[in-house]
Amino acid sequence: MDLRAELLKSIWYAFTALDVEKSGKVSKSQLKVLSHNLYTVLCIPHDPVALEEHFRDDDDGPVSSQGYMPYLNKYILDKVEEGAFVKENFDELCWTLTAKKNYKPDRNGNSVVSHQDAFKLWCLFNFLSEDKYPLVMVPDEVEYLLKKICTAMNVELNSCELDDYLSQEPQGQGGLTVWQFLDMVNSGRFLRGIEQEAISMAVEEVYQEVIEDHGFDLRVSRAQGYLWKKGQLRRNWSERWFMLKPSVLSYYMSEERKDKKGSIALDKHCCVEVLPDRDGKRCMFCVKTSSRTYEMSASDTRQRQEWTLAIQTAIRLQAEGKKSLHKDLKQKRREQREQREQRKAAKEEETQRLKQLQEEKERKLQELELLKEAQRQAEILLQEEEQRRRQQHEEMQRTLEIQLREAEQARASMQAEMVLKEAEAERQRKRILELEDMQERLQEALQQEVKARQDEEAVRYAQARLLAEEEEKLKWLMKLKEEQEEYIIKTQREKQVLKQEMENKNKCLEEAQKQLEEVRVNRQRVDQDVMAAQRKLRQASTNVKHWNVQMNRLMHPIGPGDKRTNVSGGVFAGYQPLLSRRDSSLK
């Protein structure tokens, strides 16, 4: 369905809503208002005089739909650009015009769907309706739409009741109009006992899937449900919630979709294959990508077929570059209906021909019987008694033979059934043993995982404790460094005092030669202390660098299986020379 056909369906409802007298014509003033609104919602530059110029010779009389179509195509639809307007606003305009006249919900407020939900159902109806006017939706599409709504609410649609309703509804077999469809939904006949909020959420979900996802970019229908998936590393089977999107198949821990476990990117190089049953799993299939093969198991054959078809369709749409899956599915359903109708017509024609041939054959047989009747009448009287005795004898013989064959067949069937039951019992016993073995392996794997997690927690706790201890040691080292700096400053100050004393004693050199010698001795001692302090400072710098290296090693996280090195011992070994030199200097 192209853009022009979609727009024409909605405009058709707006035009018929303005046709109050149902004459097929609308006044020019109303068409001006409609055209102005269409210009606005379609984001087309307004041309107010185009309508007057187009119908210049029609005076003020009403205009038919055939007369309005050339103007609509030339001045509106030909100027529409994809993506330049909001399709929902356009649909709301047409819905507003037609709903005022045709949509009649329950005045007491007992309608099953709200006004907004009715609008969304109207949009869905337009998408699924046939491309013929007046617009109707065939029974197959009605059932398809109702099934999607019921599926969104996890409710099963009663198809038999729907068939009864369509058979009782006038013109129901040919299709329903949108107003008949909305009346059917509002009647609550197929949605009994369901709250309006749940129905509204289901309608919104189907609307988002079919209409919003039907846009003009590449989208596909969103299939979702639980499947069993085989792991890549452990090769065990786990139940996951799968969701199919346009180009990716994602799987989660549960249907809340909070914990995403992974995704499978779909492209034209992917393929889907059905696998034979194995590993205690049935209804298996796989998705092959360029880098990996994903094995999955469905609950039954029907679910496997649905998933494989949906994934294959998504891959095919990716390869073909098609824009709408629902358009493709709708076209397929239409082709299937046409094929069914053709097969039905061919079957009816064949039945009619066979009926004619049968009638001709019966007529000829009747003529032949009439010819043979005279001959049979003469022979019947002579052979009747002999034939009666012969028939009784043959009938008795056939009866005995039939009873004998039935007895032999019953005996053979009972023996075959006993063999089958014994084989089935043997298979069941093997299956029970396999399940018990699998349960034991799963319990062992669970215990190993719990033990690994406990070991990991213990390692993490020890790592945190070591980091705290090393942080305390770093603080102590910084404090020690500050004390050394203060000691060096103090030594420098003492040196300056000694220099001053030496200058004073130089002035009194002649009077205190002995004191000068003592001062020189003291000065040499102080110089030795300064050199010792410088050596200590260099040693402290070396220890700080060693400490930084140790800290960098500790900053790397310790894995569950890594061996812990004696970090604390290495750090204290670096501190020991510094502590011993500090103690000797203090002494």
Distance between CA atoms of residues 198 and 261, nearest Å: 29
Distance CA 521, CA 511 (A): 18
Give the number of domains in the chain. Answer: 2
- Gap between the Cα atoms of 143 and 140, Å rounded: 5
Coil/strand/helix, residue 331 = helix
pTM of model > 0.75: no
Name the phi and psi angles at 284, rounded to 5.
-90, 150
d(CA 513, CA 506): 9
H-assigned helices in 196-255: 196-207
Q: Of 45, 74, 102, which marks where a domain is finished?
A: 102
Q: Is residue 317 part of a domain?
A: yes
For the chain, 587 residues long, give each residue's pLDDT as a single digit of tens: 477 888 888 888 888 888 877 787 888 888 888 888 888 888 888 777 776 777 665 555 577 777 788 888 888 888 888 767 888 888 888 998 888 888 887 666 667 788 888 888 898 888 888 888 888 888 888 888 888 888 888 888 777 877 887 777 665 557 788 888 888 888 777 776 778 788 888 888 888 777 765 433 333 444 788 999 998 888 889 999 998 876 789 999 988 878 889 999 888 889 999 999 887 888 999 999 988 999 999 999 989 998 998 888 888 877 776 655 566 667 677 777 778 778 888 888 888 888 888 988 888 888 888 888 878 888 888 888 888 888 888 888 888 889 888 888 888 988 888 899 898 989 999 989 999 888 888 888 888 888 888 888 888 888 888 888 888 888 988 888 888 888 899 888 888 888 888 887 777 777 767 766 776 788 888 888 888 888 888 888 888 888 878 877 777 665 565 544 444 444 444 445 544 554 554 44
In a domain, 565, yes or no: no
Q: What are the structure tokens assigned to 432, written together?
A: 């029970």
Domain assignment present for 296:
yes
In a domain, 399, yes or no: no
Of 44, 67, 102, the residue at which a domain comes to its end is 102
Are the C-beta atoms of residues 317 and 328 closer than 8 Å to each other? yes
> What CATH number does the domain containing 304 carry?
2.30.29.30
Residue 96 belongs to some domain of the structure:
yes
Residues 508 and 515: their CA atoms lie apart, in Å, by 10
Which stretches does DSSP call E strand in 90-198? Answer: none
The answer to whether residue 441 sits within a structural domain is no
Among all chains, which residue has been given the structure tokens 């330049």?
84
Residues 120 and 95 sit within 8 Å (Cβ to Cβ): no
The span from the first CA to the last CA of the chain, in angstroms, equals: 99
Q: Residue 14's domain spans which residues?
A: 1-102
Tokens of residue 348, six digits: 């009816």
| DSSP-assigned states of every residue in 446-485 | HHHHHHHHHHHHHHHHHHHHHHHHHHHHHHHHHHHHHHHH
Instruction: Indicate the residue among 281, 305, 323 that finishes a domain.
Output: 323
Task: List CB contacts of 81: < 8 A, sequence separation 6 or more.
Answer: 43
Those residues whose C-beta lies under 8 Å from the C-beta of residue 360, and which sit 6 or more positions away, are none
Any domain includes 556 = no
Question: Which residues pair with residue 272 across a beta bridge?
Answer: 287
Whether residue 78 lies inside any domain: the answer is: yes
